[in-house]
Structure formats: C-alpha cells, structure tokens
Chain A
Amino acid sequence: MTATGSAPQIPLFDLRLEPEDLDAVAQTLRSGWLTMGPRAAAFEEAFAAQLGCRHAVVVSSCTAALHLAYLAAGVGPGDEVIVPSYTFAATANAVLYCDATPVFADVVGPHDLGIDPDDVATRITPRTKAVAAVHFAGYPAAVDRLRALCDAHGLALVEDAAHSPSARLGERKLGTWGLAGCFSFFSNKVLPAGEGGLLATDSDEVSELARRWRSHGMTSGSWERHTRTAGGYDVIGPGLNYRLDEPRCALLLSRLRRLEAEIARRRELVATYRERLSQVPGVIVPYPDEALELSSAYVMAILLEEPDRRPALREALLAGHGIQTSIFYPAVHEFTAYRERFPGVSLPRTEWASRAEVTIPLYPHMTEADQDRVCSAIEGELAA
C-alpha cells in the first residue's frame, strides 16, 4: 500500500452530523455543566426505553463497559472468561484488566462469524466465570443457546453488543440476553459520538456497581453535590474514571432519535450489496439474507474463497478505485501481545476467516452510484 496521506474517495465509514445534533451540543456547552449531569441521565433513560432494559449506564467506551461487566460478573484473579478471538481486542483485554484469563473459542464458520456454542461448551472448566459473545457486524450470535449453556453451568453471559444497537434475535433485543450488554458509540459505529459506551442490564446490583465503579468507587457524584442531594462521599474499591461527558450524551440523545431510520437505510444498502456480491465468483457473503432484518447492519463483510488474493484486492481497490477497506478482524489470539502471553492457541475457522475477510464501505448516506462503483470494482478486480 502506498502512503498517500489523503482521504479515500469512498471511505470505509463517513460520519455526518445534522444541525439538530450540533444544536444539542451547543446548548450543553452554553449551560456550563459538562459532566455527569441531566443529559447523561436523559440519554440513559431513553436508551434503556429503546432497548427494553431496566438500567443503562453510560461510560467512556465499550472497552470500559466490558471491564465493568466482567467485574460485575465477579471475574477476578484465577478466573477464566470464554471469549471469541474474531473480535476487536477489547473483548479479551477487559478480561486481563480483571487479572483473569481469556480462553478463546472458535467461530461457527464462514457463514456465521459468531462464537460457536458447541466450541464454548468444550472449553468450560471449573475456573470459568463468564462467556462473552460478540454480535458480529450486527448479526446475532447464538445467545439463546449460550444463555441456556451459561445457566446450566452457573456462568454469566456478557454480550459485546458494540456492533448491534437495536438488533434482535427473535423478538428480543441484543444486549438484553445476558447479565450485561455492552455498547459502543465510537466514531465508526451505528450510533456514533466519537468515543463512548454503555452498559445495559436488568440487574439492580450490576447497575449500581457499574455506576459506582465508573466514577472512582465514589458513593456520590459532583452533580448530586451540586444539586444538594448528597453531602460527602465514601470510596469503595479502586474505581475508575469511565465517565462520559455531557456534550457527548446530548449528541447521543439527538442521534438516538434517528437510529431506527439510519439502520433501515443501512439494511437497504446491505441488501443491495448482498444481492450483487453473492453472485460474484470467489466471494462469500456471510449470514443468510433473512438475518438482515434482525441486524443493525453495522458493517458489510465479505470473505474471499481464496484468501491469498486479499492483499492485492485491497491494494487495487484503494490505489485504482479510491475505495477504502478494512479487516474485521485480525484474530486477537494472533496478535503479538497475545501470542506472547497465550502461545499455542489454535482456532482454524477464526484464522481462516481473519485471512479471508474484507470490510467494504458502508454509511447511511452512501449513494447508489458509490455503491455501484464498489461492487463493480470488486467484480472487476476478482475477474482479472
């Protein structure tokens, strides 16, 4: 790849903010109250109502939400958490923050990149405390089966729902199947605010713990003291600063109103992609068509039947067509930091997918012409 130092013509993602988003942020800034105040509370309430859970706790990132979820599950030194390797590293890193050991499980296969419940079952040991499932690209992992498995073994199920706000399995929203659901508001996500995350739960205890640990283990915050609903505070446990500030909460509340419409638009684009690209020789389009209606359509992933062709394809798409692509995901267990700590992990299906996958541009305001250019470029390059 050449170091062009310029933005691609068709980027992987493209974030647009609307005038009402800007107004919401401007009003918040003018109010002078920038942290853990009324806007955080309003967004938490709106998100919980939209998801259908009892508690929503905003935090600084999905990484932070995962850390708090594992802590709430009682994960500590000597414990194991079964996690996918086909994910962003945070899913496993947060296990290490708790001084516990991530045990990697394989994915189902090229047509379903979610964690395989059968493989998870073989990796349960007396030290297993929790299982984490990632809803890849916004398509549900088998959390129904995982929930049953976890219940049978007395384990906590944590959903890494970074990709999947408002997505479902059956009638039930993703992020509400386990002890806690962890959401991301990172720039390239379905509900973006720059940096941000949220922990959703039906458990009063989990919510209380997450709230306390998000702000240093303090038993009251500066807003409570400002509004005279609390005097002093105690500190219990080495809590963190995982707070999300008010301007981002205002931005999220403004954007949440458009979430369903934006997901609907993403699904239309993905439906077109699926129809075009499933006919291209050498391309595997994961998940069945009918799964799209349940999905948040976060990213468009394709797999190449011949993974060796991936570097040349990505290079040609960028250099020849101005199309940015990415890899969701390099396998976590193959990163240097993990190979050093956990050598000898073998996950054949994950490893194959991580070499075969190409993520192509997707954003709600993508034009039909740009989408056509992406499809034609892939067709042309693979036929060459």
Chain B
Amino acid sequence: MSWSIPLTDVVISEEDVEAVLDCLRSGWLTSGPRTQAFEAALSEHLGGGHAVAVSSGTAALHLACRAIGLGPGDEAIVPAVTFVATAHAVRYCGAEPVLCDVVGGGDLNLDVEDVARRIGPRTRAVLAVHFCGYAAEVEALRALCDERGIALIEDAAQAIDARTTSGRLAGTVGHLGCFSFFSKKQLAVGEGGLVLCADEEPAARCRSLRSHAMTSGTWDRHRGYADTYDIVDIGFNYRIDEGRAALGLSRLPRLEADIEARREHVRAYRERLAGVEGIALCWSDEEVERSSHFAFPVLLPDRPSRDRFREMLAAHGIQTTVYESLTRFSEFAGDGRPTSEVPRAEEMADRHVALPLWAQMSAEQLDAVVAAVREAAGEAV
C-alpha cells in the first residue's frame, strides 16, 4: 500500500525528458560538455565561484573535507541534527566528528556559541548544516572560524537558494559549500551533488579527486588533447554522468519558481496551523521568507506524542518523516564523551516531524494534511 499523500514528489517535465534523451542520443554519457555546462550554469546561479559537479551530496562533503586536508587525528564539528552523511564524510577522511548542539526552541540549526565551546586544538573545520532549507548563522560561524584559523564547510544539501541573515546565498559564505541533487531535493536529478569553492585551489583538488586524481579524462583523450595520464593522488569515482547533468541543466531555470511554490505552501501551512494546540511552528516568518523550503517541520510536545501523531497521519495515508539526532544511531551512540551531550538537538529531533511538501502539491492535498494534523494533534497530545 502506498501513501495517498507522499512526503514529497518529483515532477519531471517533457522538456526535462527531452534534454536527457538528447544526451543519450549523442552517445557521450560521462564527464563531457553537459557536465561543463551544468557547472557553469550553477556557478552563475550561485553568484560565481568554482563549481564541481559530483555523484552525490555525500561525495561533495567527502571531497570538501579532503580539499581542506582533513585527516587522521583531526576533528571537525558537525551538528547532531542532520542527515548522517555530514558526519560520515568526516569519518571517511579518518577524522573524528565532534557533535555540537542546535539553537533549539524551534530553530534546528547549529548553535554558534556551542560550536565555539567545542573548538579544540585538533579542530580543523566546522560543517554547518542549513537544515530543511533554513540558513544557519554562517556569517557568525565564518567570523569564528577565521578567528580560530579553521575551515568552514557549508552543508547546503537541503538549502540551495536559501538566504542568510545578511542576504547571501547558503553555500557561499564558507570556504566550500556542498549541495545535493538527490530525488527529494529542490533541484532533483536522482543522485547528484556539487562542491562550490570561492578559491580555485580547493576546486582543483575536488576536480582531481572526483576522478581518481587522473591528469586527463576520457573526454580530453577523445578530443585529442591528451594521449595518456598520470595519477597524482588517491582519488575516487565521484563523477556525475552526462544524463544527470542534462537533467539538472534543464530543471535549473525552474528552480526559483519551484521554491516560491514551496514557500507559498509553507505560508499556508503556518497560517492554518498557528495556534493549533499541541503544534509549534519552527523558525520565524522572516526566516520562512529566506528559506528555500526543502522540508516543513513542526514540533509536538515530546517524542511519544510525536510518534502517536505520525501514526495517526499514516492512518490517513499521509507520509511524514523525522531526522534522528545522530546520537540516537548505533554509529554515533555510546561515544560516551561529555562533548557529545547535545540536549537541545535531542529534544528538537525527538519533537519534530516533517509534513508533506513539494512544489506541485495541490491546495486539496494541503487541505487534507491540515485537517488531519488538526485532528491528530488533539488526540496525540
């Protein structure tokens, strides 16, 4: 049995389909002109910077960590409320993720003061997550990181086109920004990601490590620019193929309109859920205007009521999701160190639930969710 209202939905236009088919007809499927065009378009869209398209947001985070030289013995600060990839990327480099707390009280982003407390002699970087599309306080974090001489990597996997308090685009304030084009994301191509770098040097490292640190690729050799290659580092296969680049390139011009549609739905949700007993909204109206709305989380009073609430919505065929605090997973549990105490992260993770949201969601679907939420909130609490 599937859901009557899914958490999210991806709508691919005929224009998108045609772009992919054009690419397939060309017979060139990897690391070619479409990837280059996608990178150029993303760079322009994101206000400049060097864009390196990769196989996933996870790959982007891994490359960003490698680009700043994160390695064994190092620590990087990661919020406890995020998708696991943020912390895994640190572990891939042999470094240790140090979990930090979130602001709390309806703000699920990392807390700058808590980050500052956790910076130690081994800290090499802070990975700031813009959770659900709401921008974290990256200007303050950048100042903090600059003062301490460490790197700021922005995990903007959920936040392409989100604006920070000073109006800058998420992913462009830190030394490197990482984006995701996974199916559920605002700019969805299936699997895909991007590293955006202000400077050329880390971009060149990411570009090299994305394809086994080979000094030339098949496209260069096909075009006669190179006859063989050297391998100058231990890299990966994190390439995105041409079909996905073509799809992303086709979808990019509609991104702003899609995000505005998501924002309209969020405004409607908030207006109609304000004051419903048992439901608390996250973030402020002002922050809603700056968010790019990957997901719409609300808070229940506690974990048991949240879980009952989800079951009631599921009984109506409405899919919801939650992000556990990383401390709840076997991979990060039992860390046992006092620095891993993240009470607000655990509270926010335990209490939140993300309701259905996608650009093409209909007014009737939103009505049905609101009605079910009102009913379930009364009973669950």
Chain A contact residues, CB within 8 Å of chain B: 1-8, 11-12, 14-17, 21-22, 25-26, 29-30, 32-35, 60-64, 89-90, 93, 96-97, 99, 186-188, 192-195, 216-218, 222, 225-228, 232, 234-241, 243-248, 251, 314-315, 318, 324, 326-327, 330, 332, 335-338
Contacts and interface: CB of A to CB of B under 8 A. Distances in A.
| Interface residues on chain B, size class | 35 or more
Contacts of A32: 9-12
Nearest to B191: A245
B319 to A, nearest CB: 7
Contacts of A326: 221, 228
Interface string B18-33: 0011001101111000
Interface of B: 1-3, 6-7, 9-12, 16-17, 20-21, 24-25, 27-30, 55-59, 83-85, 87-88, 91-92, 94, 182-184, 188-191, 212-214, 218, 221-237, 239-244, 247, 314, 319, 321-322, 324, 329-332
Given A93-B234, A335-B231, A338-B231, A234 B330 contact: yes
A330 B226 CA distance: 14
B230 to A, nearest CB: 5
Nearest to B242: A194
A187 B224 contact: no
Top 5 nearest A-B pairs (CB, nearest first) are A245-B190, A194-B241, A194-B29, A34-B190, A241-B58
A7 to B, nearest CB: 6
A178 B54 CA distance: 32
Given A195-B239, A245-B244, A330-B229, A5 B24 contact: no
A35 B212 contact: no
B232 A336 contact: yes
Contact of A238 (B7, B92, B214, B224): B92
A40 to B, nearest CB: 11
Given A29-B17, A337-B232, A235 B330 contact: yes
Given A226-B6, A232-B322, A241 B231 contact: no
Contacts of B3: 226, 228
A6 B223 contact: yes
Given A187-B30, A314-B227, A318-B224, 7 more contacts: A6-B224, A15-B28, A32-B10, A93-B234, A217-B331, A226-B7, A324-B221
B64 to A, nearest CB: 14
A16 B27 contact: yes
Contacts of A25: 20-21, 24, 243
Given A234-B329, A238-B92, A34 B321 contact: no
